[in-house]
Amino acid sequence: MSEQPRPGLPPALRAVLRFDERGLIPAIVQDARTGQVLMLAYMNETALAETLRTRETHFWSRSRQTLWHKGATSGNTQRVVDLRVDCDGDTLLVLVEPQGPACHTGATSCFFRAWDGEGWRPLAFAPTDPER
């Protein structure tokens, strides 16, 4: 399978980013309309360049060691509305309009459990079968 040539990052964008020793930067994904934090995943330079080019989130899958276009299989893509960076350039905040649930369990957000002092309590939007 031939690798498509991919555009690099604009130098002005790249200049403030600090990728870690694995070449990754954590990206918080937040729903631009509701403010709900949906997930956290990691981008390398290619994933970020593809995110900018397509206006849909792309990540680096650490478990599969491959570029991952969020929603390519499920249809649950995330349209990028805004890209922000933190003060020290080592975390991204991506505001999106999600086309479906962010979580592979079917939950709107991957953060569907809260600690109640004794156990992890499922929130209202938690999946019925979180193990799937």
Write down the least CB distance from residue 55 to a copy of itself, Å: 11
User: Any contact of residue 120 with a copy of itself (CB under 8 A)?
Assistant: yes
Distance separating alpha carbons of residues 69 and 126, to the nearest angstrom: 24
Residue whose CB is less far from a copy of itself, 1 or 87: 87
The closest of 89, 94, 92, 93 to 16, measured between CA atoms, is: 89
CA gap 83, 92 in Å, rounded: 7
Q: How far is the CB of 61 from a copy of itself (least distance, A)?
A: 12
Q: What is the footprint of a copy of itself within residues 65-94 (CB under 8 A)?
A: 82-88, 91, 93
Q: Which of 6, 7, 8, 16 binds a copy of itself (CB under 8 A)?
A: 16
107 near a copy of itself (CB under 8 A): yes
Q: Is 122 in the site for a copy of itself (CB under 8 A)?
A: no
Residue among 77 and 103 whose Cβ is closer to a copy of itself: 103
* Structural contact between residues 52 and 83, judged by C-beta atoms closer than 8 angstroms: yes
Distance of CA 58 to the CA centre of its chain: 7
Report the alpha-carbon distance of residue 120 to residue 117 in Å, rounded.
8
Is there binding between residue 124 and a copy of itself (CB under 8 A)? no
